[in-house]
A = this chain, B = another copy of it.
């Protein structure tokens, strides 16, 4: 039976000032999915990890995305998925997006690559919807396109790849739970116009900094006056970590997606290691369990294994 195996990467959404519009694809960690065409109608799922995720396709992020693709296919009965999740659900680095993005790219290979990347994002968003309650593309787009992506519009979907210089990310994952719904509800519905102007000036600066490969401009633009003041309260020792990382040479950083993970951008691998030590220095004293890791930007997104 025809079968394809993919690696589906973690992602960082928002990138500080780019709330709901910017995202970046990580080299690691990656989930692994093996997808086959099946004679059984619908989507069958076999989990080979310890996360005890639903095997009922209608309740599974990967399953829902695949069912949405199946709806478009007359000549195919079903898919069989072997799912090995590596990216811990709820970590804030796009675990559900990896589940949805990985399987739609795999399915597209089985279908002769008939769909564009933007169409694949659209399918995958149905999976994201059952995970977070909203059809957001800010993790799915970088997972499928790779690199750094801008979502100019969700309806209609308008995704643009943005050039960037070499960047290293250091991730801190405190082992606490931040529910996406809580992270949404903590935000104000209305914001001062003057702060919004500050934010879009920084968004424009960040995008320009990426495209002009201007590290100083990237660093100056990594400022969030809208979301971070609220969401940082959900992450213990947020500003302590951030300040220590910047003192260790990080360009800047903040909350990954809706947290609890934090990320920092650095110009070199050496600085990223210093930044990791700074994170460990702060969090080592808190009594909160945590993991850290370093990743480059993944320019390819979901890839065949």
Chain A interface residues (CB < 8 Å from chain B): 17-22, 150-153, 158, 160, 162, 187-194, 196-205, 207-208, 211-212, 217, 220-221, 226
- A191–B151 Cα gap in the complex (Å)? 21
- Name the B residues within 8 Å of A197 (CB-CB): 19-21
Contact of A150 (CB < 8 Å), options: B18, B151, B188, B205: B205
Asked if B18 contacts A160 (CB within 8 A), the reply is no
Known: A190-B193, A193-B187, A193-B191. A150 touches B201 (CB 8 A): yes
- Name the B residues within 8 Å of A193 (CB-CB): 187-191, 226
Chain B minimum-CB-distance residue to A191? B193
Asked if A162 contacts B196 (CB within 8 A), the reply is no
Asked if A199 contacts B201 (CB within 8 A), the reply is no
Contact of A21 (CB < 8 Å), options: B21, B200, B211, B212: B200
Asked if B192 contacts A192 (CB within 8 A), the reply is no
Copies in the complex: 2
Asked if A191 contacts B196 (CB within 8 A), the reply is yes
Asked if A220 contacts B152 (CB within 8 A), the reply is yes
Chain B minimum-CB-distance residue to A198? B153
Contact of A158 (CB < 8 Å), options: B158, B160, B192, B220: B220
- A220–B153 Cα gap in the complex (Å)? 10
Chain B minimum-CB-distance residue to A158? B220
Asked if B18 contacts A204 (CB within 8 A), the reply is yes
Asked if A196 contacts B150 (CB within 8 A), the reply is no
Contact of A152 (CB < 8 Å), options: B20, B22, B160, B204: B204
- Name the B residues within 8 Å of A153 (CB-CB): 198, 201, 220
- Name the B residues within 8 Å of A211 (CB-CB): 208, 211-212
Chain B minimum-CB-distance residue to A154? B201
- Name the B residues within 8 Å of A194 (CB-CB): 189
Asked if A204 contacts B207 (CB within 8 A), the reply is yes
- Name the B residues within 8 Å of A17 (CB-CB): 200
Given contacts A21-B197, A203-B204, 7 further A-B contacts (CB under 8 A): A17-B200, A20-B197, A21-B200, A160-B208, A191-B192, A191-B196, A196-B200
- Name the B residues within 8 Å of A22 (CB-CB): 204
- A162–B209 Cα gap in the complex (Å)? 10
- Name the B residues within 8 Å of A212 (CB-CB): 160, 211
- A221–B160 Cα gap in the complex (Å)? 12
User: From residue A2, how far is it (CB to closest CB) to chain B in Å?
Assistant: 37
User: From residue A108, how far is it (CB to closest CB) to chain B in Å?
Assistant: 25
> Can you list 26 A-B pairs, Cβ within 8 angstroms, ordered by A?
A18-B200, A21-B200, A21-B201, A21-B204, A150-B201, A150-B204, A150-B205, A150-B208, A151-B201, A152-B202, A152-B217, A153-B220, A158-B205, A160-B212, A189-B193, A189-B194, A190-B190, A191-B191, A191-B192, A193-B226, A196-B196, A199-B200, A203-B204, A207-B207, A208-B211, A211-B211
